[in-house]
Amino acid sequence: GAGVSQSPSNKVTEKGKDVELRCDPISGHTALYWYRQSLGQGLEFLIYFQGNSAPDKSGLPSDRFSAERTGGSVSTLTIQRTQQEDSAVYLCASSVQPSGGYEQYFGPGTRLTVT
């Protein structure tokens, strides 16, 4: 079946512009995660959605970052007034259950470059 998809695969934007990154999770997966992977770094947790519950936004680095998940499926991560330090690969993952022990399926990521 289809895996997690993300679009665009690459995005180059000018400093100060807003960008939207999209994630289509695997159908039926209730949990959705956004991570950021900077060059040579591990994964930095950004935000987590579980069903209709309020998202866990504890990892968002600033108020320029926001995310929504419509209808419990597709998610959009928005970065306003982008800065050069926002350049990274943004990874989305989904899983059947939110708690430990269930595999997270990762998308291929969106490589964001802020010039």
Partner 1 sequence: GEDVEQSLFLSVREGDSSVINCTYTDSSSTYLYWYKQEPGAGLQLLTYIFSNMDMKQDQRLTVLLNKKDKHLSLRIADTQTGDSAIYFCAESFDNYGQNFVFGPGTRLSVLP
Site size for partner 1, by CB under 8 A?
26
Residues 12 and 113: beta-carbon distance below 8 Å = yes
Q: Is 25 in the site for partner 1 (CB under 8 A)?
A: no
Rounded to 5 degrees, what are φ and ψ at 11? -145, 125
Residues 23 and 6: beta-carbon distance below 8 Å = yes
| Residues numbered 37-76 forming contacts with partner 1, rule: CB under 8 A | 40-43, 45, 48, 50, 53, 56, 58-59
Pair of tokens at residue 35: 């991570």
* Residue ranges that bind partner 1, judged by CB under 8 A: 4, 33, 35, 40-43, 45, 48, 50, 53, 56, 58-59, 91, 93, 98-101, 103-104, 106-109
